[in-house]
Chain A
Amino acid sequence: MSSPEIVVAVSNLHKRFGALEVLKGVSLEAHTGEVVSIIGASGSGKSTLLRCIPLLEVPEEGEIRISGEEVALRTRGGRREAADAKQVNRLRSQLGFVFQSFNLWQHMTVLQNVVEVPVHVQRRPRAEAVAEAESLLEKVGLAEKLNAYPSHLSGGQQQRAAIARALAMRPQALLFDEPTSALDPELVGEVLRVMRSLAEEGRTMLIVTHEMAFAAEVSSHAVFLADGRIEEEGPPSQIFRDPQSERCRQFVQRHLDR
């Protein structure tokens, strides 16, 4: 049974790439208003875990629930795939996903990028979508750049536009996949500032990140992943200041020092 306030829940996820098993049975929940940060070394499976939620990767085993609804999966020809493409698309449009490399649509202006999904997927009236997009872009500090093309923006600006695009879908939860890893160091701050304000609004967020100080500050729950398993999880006060496991302690120390 899933209680309604659980927005995202995955249980017992297994994911293999060829011979390499990246996730070895991971379970995770995010309640409404919770900010869950997922940390771990490169290759620990944290990005794969996040990408499994909107089914960008299909796990071989395990269950995914979004707002209590289970994503229907089936096995066909030895491969796991979505059983119902319509359902997947409907559930995907309830999540906002922010990529490491922004992935803005290059042939559209910033405003067009933000309006695209509300108008063409969610079928909301254009005028309403544009008004909302403008206020979202103002919120992320891009009011001046509505009609600019992504290629004319800095990395930090592009990532803020991508966050506005995710917000425009009115998502139940926001998923961030290392949102600052592709940015020049001096541009990281402006993106984290936007993310912090979203956390303060009480939005449900799952964040895969290497920014330990930021994660320690904003998250309500932290998960440390190692070798495709959850090595340790708990409140940030535990994970970042008083980790119980040796691996987590070493990892956090190494990253907080920097």
Chain B
Amino acid sequence: MIDTDFLAETLLKLLGGLPITLELSTISILAGVVLAVLLALLRQASRVGGLFVRAYVFVLRGTPLLLQIFLVYYGLGQFPLIRHSILWPFLREPWWCAILALTLNTAAYGSEIVRGGLAAVPTGAVEAARVAGMSRWTMYRRIILPLAFRQALPAYGNEWVIMVKSTSLASIVTLMEVTGQAYAIISETYRAMEVFLCAGAIYLTLTFLLTRAIGALEHRLTPYLRRPETTLGGLA
């Protein structure tokens, strides 16, 4: 009953799309974190900055990611100004457009998560840093951002899992990542269930590994939230 040959063949073809899925996920997640932190800091920095970030978050979180991808990929090319700019070689490529849209999108969600993390940094820790004569930059680098990051990690982990799944939308702008491959096989064979099972297994594995990695990172970074381990002669 189960056509194992077809399943194996499908799985192999789908895995061909894995590198693109991984590229899109990794790059947009990392770039998204950087942008999210900048946005969260900008929001604190000034009134105008705060207004800008709030508008940005409002628009990006209030609209579908698919529409955002389309606006970047099809919409921007409408303008001769952009077609003749040095950015055009990038904005012409679906790969870069997907990265750009995914990054902008996750940064909006991420900046709210980072904001929550920053708000949860104890004022006493900041005061102790100030009174020790730390410069603003040192204080953010050594005290505030590390504490905020640890606070935000669980929520941010969920966002990263969502991002991995969201890379599937890149298939709609012709990128042959895992979902793009799946679509091609289904529209050729009409064996939706089998293809779904294979593609689903790949995504489930990815999201499972990511969740575990985040859990391990959290465990590593927050030993102070656990009961002390009996480390005899622990090293510095």
- A residues neighboring B (CB under 8 Å): 54, 56, 85-86, 88-95, 97, 99, 101-107, 109, 111, 116-117, 120-121, 130, 146-152, 162, 169
Contact between chains at B124 and A107 (CB < 8 Å):
no
17 more CB-based (< 8 A) A-B contacts, given A90-B133, A149-B228: A88-B133, A92-B130, A92-B133, A97-B131, A99-B127, A103-B122, A103-B124, A106-B125, A107-B146, A107-B222, A107-B224, A121-B135, A149-B223, A149-B224, A151-B225, A169-B132, A169-B133
**Inside 8 A of A91's CB, which chain B residues have their CB?**
133
**Inside 8 A of B136's CB, which chain A residues have their CB?**
85
Contact between chains at A121 and B131 (CB < 8 Å):
no
- Known interface pairs A90-B133, A97-B131, A117-B133. Does A151 touch B224 (Cβ–Cβ under 8 Å)? yes
Show 13 A/B contacts (Cβ-Cβ < 8 Å), sorted by A. A85-B136, A92-B131, A92-B133, A94-B133, A103-B122, A104-B125, A120-B138, A130-B236, A150-B224, A151-B224, A151-B225, A152-B227, A152-B228
Which A residue sits closest to B235, measured CB to CB?
Answer: A147
The 7 A-B residue pairs with the shortest CB-CB distance in the complex, in nearest-first order: A93-B133, A149-B224, A103-B124, A92-B133, A103-B128, A89-B133, A152-B228
CB < 8 Å neighbour of B130 from A56, A116, A146, A150: A56
Contact between chains at A56 and B127 (CB < 8 Å):
yes
CB < 8 Å neighbour of A121 from B122, B133, B225: B133
B134 within 8 A of A: yes
Contact between chains at B147 and A106 (CB < 8 Å):
yes
Contact between chains at B234 and A147 (CB < 8 Å):
yes
**Inside 8 A of B202's CB, which chain A residues have their CB?**
none
- Docked CA distance A34–B182 (Å): 78
What's the least CB distance linking A123 to chain B, in Å? 11
- Docked CA distance A111–B128 (Å): 16
- Docked CA distance A95–B133 (Å): 9
What's the least CB distance linking A105 to chain B, in Å? 5
- Docked CA distance A70–B149 (Å): 38
Interface string of B213-226 (1 = CB under 8 A from A): 00000000111110
What's the least CB distance linking A225 to chain B, in Å? 21
What's the least CB distance linking B186 to chain A, in Å? 48
**Inside 8 A of A88's CB, which chain B residues have their CB?**
133
Chain B: residues with Cβ within 8 Å of the partner, total of 30
**Inside 8 A of B187's CB, which chain A residues have their CB?**
none
**Inside 8 A of A162's CB, which chain B residues have their CB?**
128
B150 within 8 A of A: yes
Which A residue sits closest to B138, measured CB to CB?
Answer: A120
CB < 8 Å neighbour of A103 from B127, B142, B231: B127
- Docked CA distance A104–B221 (Å): 17
B143 within 8 A of A: yes
- Docked CA distance A20–B82 (Å): 58
What's the least CB distance linking A107 to chain B, in Å? 5
Which B residue sits closest to A133, measured CB to CB?
Answer: B236
**Inside 8 A of B221's CB, which chain A residues have their CB?**
107
Q: Which chain B residues (116-159) contact chain A, with CB distance < 8 Å?
A: 122, 124-125, 127-136, 138, 142-143, 146-147, 150
- Docked CA distance A103–B143 (Å): 12
CB < 8 Å neighbour of B132 from A106, A117, A147: A117
Which B residue sits closest to A88, measured CB to CB?
Answer: B133
CB < 8 Å neighbour of A148 from B138, B143, B228: B228
- Known interface pairs A105-B143, A152-B228. Does A147 touch B128 (Cβ–Cβ under 8 Å)? no
* Best-surrounded residue of B124, B138, B227 (most CB of chain A within 10 A): B124
**Inside 8 A of A117's CB, which chain B residues have their CB?**
132-134
Which B residue sits closest to A122, measured CB to CB?
Answer: B133
What's the least CB distance linking A241 to chain B, in Å? 34
**Inside 8 A of A99's CB, which chain B residues have their CB?**
124, 127-128
* Best-surrounded residue of A86, A102, A106, A116 (most CB of chain B within 10 A): A106
Contact between chains at A106 and B122 (CB < 8 Å):
yes
What's the least CB distance linking B114 to chain A, in Å? 16
What's the least CB distance linking B74 to chain A, in Å? 45
